[in-house]
Amino acid sequence: MDYRLALFFIVQMAADFVLCQLHYMIPEESKHGTFVGRIAQDLGLQISDINSRRLRISSKDGSDYFQVNLKNGILFVNRMIDREALCPEISVCIVQLEVIVDKPVQIHHVDVEIEDINDNYPIFPAKEYKLLIAESRLPGSNFPLEGAVDSDVGTNSVTVYELSSNDNFALDVQSYTHESKSVQLVLKKSLDREQIPFHNITLIAFDGGKPKLNGSAQLLITVQDVNDNAPVFEQSIYRASLLENALVGTFVIKVNATDLDEGENGKLKYSFNKLVPPQTRSVFNIEEHTGIIRSFGEVDYEKKSLYEIEVDAIDKGPYAIAGHCKVIVNIVDVNDNPPEMTVTSLNVPVPEDSPTGTVVAVISVHDRDSDQNGKVTCHISKNIPFKISPTLREYYSLTVDGPLDRERTSEYELDITATDGGAPALSVTKSIKVQISDVNDNPPSFQKSSEIISVKENNPPGSHVYTVSASDSDTGQNSFITYSLSASFLDGIPISSYISVNPENGKIFALLSFDHEQVCYFQCQIIATDAGLPPMSSNLTLHIFIEDINDNAPSALAPFSSSESAVTEMVPRSFKKGQVVTKIKAIDPDSGYNAWISYEVKNLPRNSPFSIGHHTGEITIMRSFIDSDSDQHKLFVELKDHGDPQMSAMVTLIILLVDPEHELPAETKNHKRKANDLSDANIYLIMSICLISSVFLITLIVYTVLSVTKSIKIQISDVNDNRPSFHQGAETIFIKENNPPGSHVYTVTASDADTGQNSFITYSLSDSSIDGIPMSSYISINPENGKIYALMSFDHEQIIYFQCQIIATDAGLPHLSSNLTLHIFIEDINDNAPSALAPFYSTEPAVTEMVPRSSKVGQLVTKIKAVDPDSGYNAWISYKLKDLPRNSPFSIGRQNGEIIITRSLMDSDGDKHNLNIILKDHGLPEMSTIVTLIILLTEPEQELPTERKKHKEKNDDFSDANIYLIMSICLIASIFLITLIVYTVLRWQKYTQEINALKQNTLCPSIAGSWTYSQQRQYKVHLNGTPLKNDLILFTPNFPQSTVEDGNSNTGNLFPPFQPYPDVHS
């Protein structure tokens, strides 16, 4: 049982593979709706698959005799079929159907045989036949008769002939082929015209159907009393073959008959029997005298392949007697019909991701020729990703045979050629256009992976700042691109709060008005996504720089506040020329030239004893005071930046000249000094001193390094005709501040198309400087591999951006080189905690403020001001009260630091309130500082005594900032002294060595020292950036065996430095 079951499954799988063939049988003239067969079940299809797989049928001739019920899968008769009309000359009538289903494409061959029913009567071509028979004819003579025609086939066709009752005649029925029967009238008994000159006999033809049907014809026989010898043919049946398409007049065969009679009775003429149909007569004719049969019309094998011709030989006697024979002509097929091609099913467009073997089209081919002439093969164009292969009988399938790419070829025009097997072969070509449909296999692409844009600060919110554009090589929905922002944050705030992008056109809009003092740079990711399934996307990195504009005027630091009244300074008349009276300090929140502040005294009298440093703000004494100088001098100092447009502020300084004995008491000086001590300017001063010290040390190191020069001589044999090339003309890199000195920050790479030594590339830095400091003090580059190193720990608060030129030079002669511009941005990190401005120092004791109890709700108590040297969100400061009691009458503004009264002060409120204020930035990690404020609630008539205030002020005089300032100054002085001592020792050793090498010479005394000279020379010396002066006179020693180099030599001076003559202006 298991073996049979396995065999069943194997047979079933084989049947599925070859696409099984079905055969149904129905009787002709079946009515509409007659059941033919359960075609869906027989093909193994589920009823639910009929519609989804688009089951359909087609016939070769395009008829619609049959239809399929798509609800139950039953094949039924669509319209009545007349077998005789459908297959007039074919014994087995078969309607060939092709059942086609999709997903996947399958073709099933179904034959429906139309069974004949006995619905046609035998019919004779004529109702009566007149025969002339000589009485001399001997018994056994044959007289051919025209048989009856029955449109039915098989047993339903004519099977039996009968004659009505008579004594003289009988029938002889013989079958020569399966298609025809020879019916002859046989003379059984000699005729006697004198007794019966006329015979009327009924010829009846019966078919084999049930019930039997019959037809009849009358034989009218006249007995002739002449000529008693009939012509006789050499053969009763002649056979011949003729090629189709034979020319008119082509010889077919010659028949020959003889007549034993003499004279006119023995002369014969040949003709076709009157039973020969007109169709045959239109194709052949016979020569009356020779019996030669020739072609007379079109001979077409496809119309008829066999002809049966009845030929008569009739003598010329007065009572002519005829002899009879049959000529059977076989038509030989020639290859005269090209193949016929029909595209049965075409599934276009074809998706470009279709796998190999996907059916694109089903082609039906047919050739009306036979045998080898009717065998057809198909082939298609070469070098295309398709192939054609036979499937079932006369069908071929066009399938995918390689990868498809719509972006390369969107449409293929296939030439399908069908060729038969004849000689010569005939062929037909049909062109099919196959469109390739797009699938989403290409992501959107930007021209660059990153772009840099600049936005000026104070832009109007919602303004258009840039447009990004991406392209997609797909088409239709797959090429529709939408733009979006990648989910990212800038200091904890979504990037979507800063900018937005139009999803349709890629236009980028600023959602807020940028402030360079808050944010100077950020980056975001723009995502371009197509509308395919699944969607594909790509990213663009957008570097956005906020350009500074001059939107902030300079502001003086305490005590020189531009919004306050004039500041008074007392200067003793005993002060000397050049002594500093005071220093005005100002800041500008802008950057670059917009923050470069210059100082100028407006309307300064010509004989004023005071001047101000243009860049330092130091007010110094230009000349000694005289008695005529006024006791009071009012200076209007203008603070100007260098922006466009230029912005300025004005402060007023009143200088009182006092005699030494009228100097203010120490308490007053201390009070004046206190304001300066508590200013945050000390912090900036300390930072400036540290920066100057660093610059001094770096300059010394760089000078030492640059004093060493190394030369490399290279010999080349190649012609150096290619310069090194970088991939891009400019690149941008980012370095986080506080990087360790010597860290690797980037690597540049250039290539050279030359070979050998000419392609050896060395990298170097172009000679440039930042604020007068050589670029080589900031970064260095490895000349061999292009690795760039940071020589210092960068500080974003000191430098934000600089650029340098990297030179790639080959070793050819002459050297060829190319440049790369490197844009270097110092990224800020949160390395500075907020610091409060005076008088709220985190390192000082608590600040005390007195608030009258009569103060109203909303009244400002004080304002805490803080700064953070960082930038962006790292410098965004918020204020918060720590451990504030729930019923406290005070609150602080989170952004402005203003402490205000939130409710009316009551008698139950304590006299003293300690507020701990947290100054917190928004960096990562977050940094904070705490300052303390003591608020004393007083009655309106109560005020602290002046002594108490002065005592508090004295405690604040000696702040920690002064200690750090003194330590920094001492440190710098020590470094300078050590450097000077070392330098002096080294020069003295060199001087001693050179003096010992000199011979003794005559010395001439002078103010400058002892010199040996032969002539006087004058040199110009440039010292420490001061103007050129002709102050130094040197005399060239006249030594017989040694020379002294000029002062501008790179080896240094021979003698140690000395005091020059003073110039006339000193």
Same domain, 933 and 1038: no
Are 467 and 386 in a shared domain? Answer: no
Query: What was the pLDDT predicted at 317?
Result: 82
Residue with more model confidence, 408 or 319:
408
CA distance 431 to 232: 62
C-beta separation of 294 from 252 below 8 A: yes
List phi, psi (to 5°) of 687: -65, -40
Kindly state whether residues 820 and 850 are assigned to the same domain: no
The CB-side HSE value for 221 (13 A sphere, CA atoms) comes to 23
Question: Is residue 971 assigned to a domain?
Answer: no
Residue-level pLDDT at 1026: 40
Q: Is residue 687 part of a domain?
A: no
Q: Are residues 83 and 45 in the same domain?
A: yes
Residue 230 has phi, psi (to 5 degrees) of -90, 150
Tell me what the mean pLDDT of segment 879-897 comes to. Answer: 88
Whether residue 442 lies inside any domain: the answer is: no
Q: pLDDT (tens digit, 9 = 90+) per residue, 147-162? A: 888 888 878 888 888 9
174 and 103 share one domain? no
H/E/C letters for each residue in 366-381? ECCCCHHHHCEEEEEC
Distance CA 526, CA 484 (A): 6
Q: Where are the alpha helices (DSSP H) in 582-708?
A: 666-677, 681-706
Domain with residue 925: its CATH number is 2.60.40.60
Mean of pLDDT values over 683-693: 71
Confidence of residue 1058 (pLDDT cuts 50, 70, 90): very low
Statement: residue 954 has pLDDT above 70: no
What pLDDT is stored for residue 337 in this prediction?
A: 83
Q: What is the pLDDT of residue 234?
A: 92
pLDDT tens digit sequence for 179-209: 567 889 999 998 887 788 899 999 999 988 8
Q: For residues 186 and 250, state if they share a domain.
A: no
Indicate the range of 266-280, 459-473, 690-704, 717-731 predicted with least confidence: 690-704
What's the confidence (pLDDT) of residue 286? 94
| Cβ atoms of residues 168 and 187 within 8 Å | yes
Both 275 and 308 in one domain: the answer is yes
Q: Among 200, 194, 245, 234, which residue's Cα sits nearest to residue 220?
A: 200
Q: Measured between alpha carbons, how far is residue 629 from residues 570, 619, 626 in Å?
A: 14, 17, 6
Q: How confident is the model at residue 704 (pLDDT cuts 50, 70, 90)?
A: low
Give the count of domains, the chain: 9
Evaluate if residue 666 carries a pLDDT over 90: no
Residues 355-400 have pLDDT tens digits of 998 998 988 888 888 888 888 889 888 889 999 988 877 888 999 9
Domain end position, chosen among 300, 333, 366: 333
Q: Indicate if the pLDDT at residue 83 is higher than 90.
A: no
Is 972 among the domain residues?
no
Residue 254: its pLDDT value, please?
94
Residue 702 lies in a domain: no
Decide if 970 is inside a domain.
no
More confident of the two residues 227 and 779: 779
End-to-end alpha-carbon separation of the chain, Å?
132
* Whether the Cβ atoms of residue 765 and residue 775 lie closer than 8 Å to each other: yes
Mean pLDDT for the stretch of residues 331-345: 85
Residues 302 and 355 in one domain: no
Distance CA 437, CA 349 (A): 5
- Which residue matches tokens 């071929």? 396
User: Confidence band (pLDDT; 50, 70, 90) for 480?
Assistant: very high
CA angle 323, 329, 333 (to 5 degrees): 175
* Most confident of the following: 96-105, 116-125, 311-320, 324-333: 324-333
**pLDDT at position 899:** 92
Which residues lie below 8 Å from residue 74, measured CB to CB, with a gap of 6+? 35, 36, 37, 38, 39, 40, 68
Question: Is residue 1054 predicted with pLDDT exceeding 50?
Answer: no
Return mean pLDDT, the chain. 81
Contact 122, 215 (CB under 8 A): yes
Q: Is-contact 955 845, C-beta < 8 A?
A: yes
Q: Is residue 128 part of a domain?
A: yes
Buried b / exposed e across 822-853, counting CB within 10 Å, b at 16+?
A: bebbbebbbbbbbbbbbbbbbebeebbeebee
Residue 848 forms part of a structural domain: yes
Give 359's strand partners: 399
Tell me: do 564 and 654 sit in the same domain: yes
Q: What is the pLDDT of residue 179?
A: 59
Q: Which pLDDT does position 28 carry in this prediction?
A: 87
pLDDT tens-digit series, residues 723-751: 999 988 899 999 999 999 989 999 999 99
Mean pLDDT (whole number) for 72-77:
90
Quote the CA–CA distance of 970 and 959 in Å, as a whole number.
17
140: closest CA among 97, 202, 183, 185?
A: 185
Q: Which of 645, 663, 681 is the last residue of a domain?
A: 663
SS3 content of the chain, % helix, strand, coil (to 5): 15, 40, 45
Could you please report the per-residue DSSP string of 413-441?
A: EEEEEEEESSSS--EEEEEEEEEEEP-S-
The model carries a pTM of 0.40
DSSP H helical ranges for 301-352: none
Residues 399 and 500 in one domain: no
- Select from 827, 860, 877 the last residue of a domain: 827
Domain residue limits at 610 = 555-663
* CA-atom Rg of the chain in angstroms: 62
- Among 119, 90, 343, 303, residue whose Cα is nearest residue 210: 119
Mean local confidence (pLDDT), 623-629: 87
Which one has a higher pLDDT value, 165 or 1038? 165
Q: Is residue 710 scored above 70 in pLDDT?
A: no
Convert the pLDDT of each residue in 808-826 to its tens digit.
999 888 889 999 999 999 9
**Least confident range of 558-567, 675-684, 698-707:** 675-684
Angle between helices 960-997 and 681-706 (to 10 degrees): 20
Tally the C-alpha atoms within 13 A of residue 18's C-alpha that lie toward its C-beta: 9
Let me know whether 80 and 110 are in one domain: yes
Characterise 1040 by phi-psi region: left (phi > 0), alpha (psi -120 to 50), beta (else). alpha
Band of residue 807 on the pLDDT scale cut at 50, 70, 90: very high
Note whether 882 and 862 are same-domain residues: yes
Contacts of 193 (CB under 8 A, 6+ apart): 135, 223, 224, 225
